[in-house]
Structure 1
Amino acid sequence: MLVSERIGQLFIDGDHGRDRLEYTEYGAGDAWVVLLHGQLMPRRMQQPLARALAAEGLHVVTLDLLGHGRSDRPADPLVYSTTAFAEQVVALLDHLGAPQAVIGGTSLGANVSLEVAVIAPDRVRGLMCEMPVLDNALEAGILAFGPVLFSARFLPFTITAVRRLTRPVPRGIVPFWAGIVLDTLDQRADAMAAVVHGLFFGRIAPPSRQRRGIRVPALVVGHPADPIHPAADAAMLAEELPQATFVRAESILEWRLRPERLNAEAAAFALRCWKTPRRSRRTAT
């Protein structure tokens, strides 16, 4: 089923000035879903899921958070945190005229979804959290992103060199996920350092006490054998959220290469969120 796709933009005002955010809408209607990307990745990574959900009648929006994709990329670490990102999602809902939405995301996007549910619970119809980054991911996250921060801050020419190599490659001639990797490598050193710095030393996710107070339905997807996104974090989150359903993916690649099962789970969940009153009971696990 073909669905309409439209690119839009909104502007947010902060202490350092005005920033532009870019988003894509898929489909139409009042059953809103917002999908968020992983750290340093573009919103285009959610395009396959967005199209699948829109084909089921949902109105899906993918957003490039500040510092990512085609949105502005200020080089100030103070503007980057999950709370700031969550405020951008709420600003998007205001811009679209969407009273509520199912909020979902991958990795950083999952954490931001949780933050939206904390700061604006009345705007959240449900949550879809794939591989959240919580308590069990600290050491692996430092090992993975510490060198990235060091290179961007002290060896910026390495980031610039990678950008010059990857930017000219036409995305239309490479496989979709290879294009996403190329987009992720298309970074400016100063902004990249600011994003990683801000998330390292700022608030990365709501604490457990606040997560336990989130009362909307949630779909939590965890992957085995992924140290940066340990399945233990996803399982812990599913236990903490009062209305959570936990789905175990076969691997981190399943939703990328064989998405049919998880797309169906996500579509059924989002549609159920819009058909069920907010005060619904805990779903079966």
Structure 2
Amino acid sequence: MLVSERVGQFFLHSEDGRDRVEYTEYGAGDSWVVLVHAPLLTRRMHEPLARALAASGLHVVVPDLLGHGRSDRPADPLAYSVEAFGEHVVALLDHLGAPQAVLGGTSLGANVALEVAVSAPERVRGLLVEAPVLDNALEAGLLAASPLLLTTRVLPFTLDAARLLSRPVPRSLLPFWAGVAVDVLDQRSGPTAAMLHGLLFGRLAPRSRERRQIAVPTLVVGHPRDPLHPTSDTDLLASEIPGAELLRARGVLEWRLRPERLTHAAIGFCQSSWRVPSRRRRAAGR
């Protein structure tokens, strides 16, 4: 089934000026879903899922976070944090005129969805979180990100050279996931260093006591044998959020290479989140 696709943009205003955020919109209607990508990747990673969700009747929006893809890349570390990205998602909903949305995300994107759920719960219809980065992933995350941060500071020409070499590569001629992998090489040393600095030294995720207050339908997808996203974190999150459902992937790349089972579950979850009246509205009507 073909769905409409539109590219849009909006601007985030601050004391230092304004930053442009680009997004792709799939489908139409009032049943909104926002999908947030993993760090260093772009919104293209969620393109297959977004198309499948839109084909089922949902209205899906997939942004490039600041510092990623075709959005602006400020060089100020203060522009990058899970809290800031959460504010950007709320600003996107405001721009779209969407009172609520099911928020989904992978890795960093999952943490951003959780952040919105605790900072602006009235805007969240449900949570579809894949491989969140919580307490048990801190050491592995630091080990993975610190060398890259050091490289951007000490050997910035390596990132800039990789970007120059990767940009002419025609993504349309590559297999889809090969093109997404090439997108990872499109980094700029200054903004990438600022982003890693902001994320490493800022708040990584809502605290456990805040996560326990989340009161929306939640589907948590965990990866087995994933050192950066241990199943202990997904198990923890599923136990903290009342009524959350835990769905285990069969492998780290199942949703990328054999997506049918997980995509079917995601469609059912998002549709059911919109069929059930929000808890906030039910409470207001009592």
TM-score range, shorter chain: over 0.9
> Which segment drifts farther, 161-170 or 99-108?
161-170
Q: For 1:14 and 1:237, locate their aligned partners in 2 and report how far apart those are by CA, in whole Å.
A: 33
1:102 maps to 102
Is 1:40 the counterpart of 2:45 in the alignment? no
TM-superposed CA distance for 1:189, in Å, is: 0.2
Q: For 2:182 and 2:191, locate their aligned partners in 1 and report how far apart those are by CA, in whole Å.
A: 17
2:201 maps to 201
Q: What is the identity percentage for the equivalent residue pairs of Structure 1 and Structure 2?
A: 67
Give the SS at the match of 2:279.
coil
Task: Tell me the alpha carbon deviations over residues 228-280 of structure 1, each in whole angstroms, 9 at most, x when there is no partner.
Answer: 01111111100001121000001111000000000000000000000012239
Give the SS at the match of 2:225.
coil
The equivalences for 1:10-21 within 5 A come to: 10-21=10-21
Q: For 1:33 and 1:254, locate their aligned partners in 2 and report how far apart those are by CA, in whole Å.
A: 21
Is 1:167 the counterpart of 2:167 in the alignment? yes
2:144 maps to 144
Give the SS at the match of 1:72.
coil
Give the SS at the match of 1:92.
helix
1:283 maps to none
Q: For 1:55 and 1:68, locate their aligned partners in 2 and report how far apart those are by CA, in whole Å.
A: 26
> Which segment drifts farther, 162-171 or 129-138?
162-171
1:85 maps to 85
1:124 maps to 124
2:283 maps to none
Q: For 2:15 and 2:51, locate their aligned partners in 1 and report how far apart those are by CA, in whole Å.
A: 36
1:262 maps to 262
Q: Which stretches of structure 1, 4 residues or longer, exceed 4 Å deviation after superposition?
A: none
Give the SS at the match of 1:128.
strand
Letter in 2 for 1:133: V
Task: Tell me the alpha carbon deviations over residues 133-185 of structure 1, each in whole angstroms, 9 at most, x when there is no partner.
Answer: 00010111111111110001111011011111111110011111111111111
Q: For 1:237 and 1:174, locate their aligned partners in 2 and report how far apart those are by CA, in whole Å.
A: 36
RMSD, aligned CA: 1.1
Give the SS at the match of 1:6.
strand
2:52 maps to 52
Task: Tell me the alpha carbon deviations over residues 88-135 of structure 1, each in whole angstroms, 9 at most, x when there is no partner.
Answer: 000000000000000000000000000011111000000000000000
Q: For 1:242 and 1:7, locate their aligned partners in 2 and report how far apart those are by CA, in whole Å.
A: 36
2:235 maps to 235
Give the SS at the match of 1:7.
strand
Q: For 2:240 and 2:185, locate their aligned partners in 1 and report how far apart those are by CA, in whole Å.
A: 35
Give the SS at the match of 1:12.
strand
Is 1:189 the counterpart of 2:185 in the alignment? no
Task: Tell me the alpha carbon deviations over residues 200-253 of structure 1, each in whole angstroms, 9 at most, x when there is no partner.
Answer: 000111011100011001000000110101111111100001121000001111
Letter in 2 for 1:144: A
TM-superposed CA distance for 1:78, in Å, is: 0.9
Q: For 1:231 and 1:179, locate their aligned partners in 2 and report how far apart those are by CA, in whole Å.
A: 28
Q: For 2:177 and 2:150, locate their aligned partners in 1 and report how far apart those are by CA, in whole Å.
A: 26
- Provide structure 2 residue ranges, at least 5 long, that are not aligned to the other structure: 281-286
Give the SS at the match of 1:9.
strand
Letter in 2 for 1:149: L
User: What TM-score do you get using the length of structure 1 for normalisation?
Assistant: 0.97
Letter in 2 for 1:24: T
Give the SS at the match of 1:38.
coil
Letter in 2 for 1:78: L
Q: For 2:278 and 2:241, locate their aligned partners in 1 and report how far apart those are by CA, in whole Å.
A: 14
TM-superposed CA distance for 1:5, in Å, is: 0.1
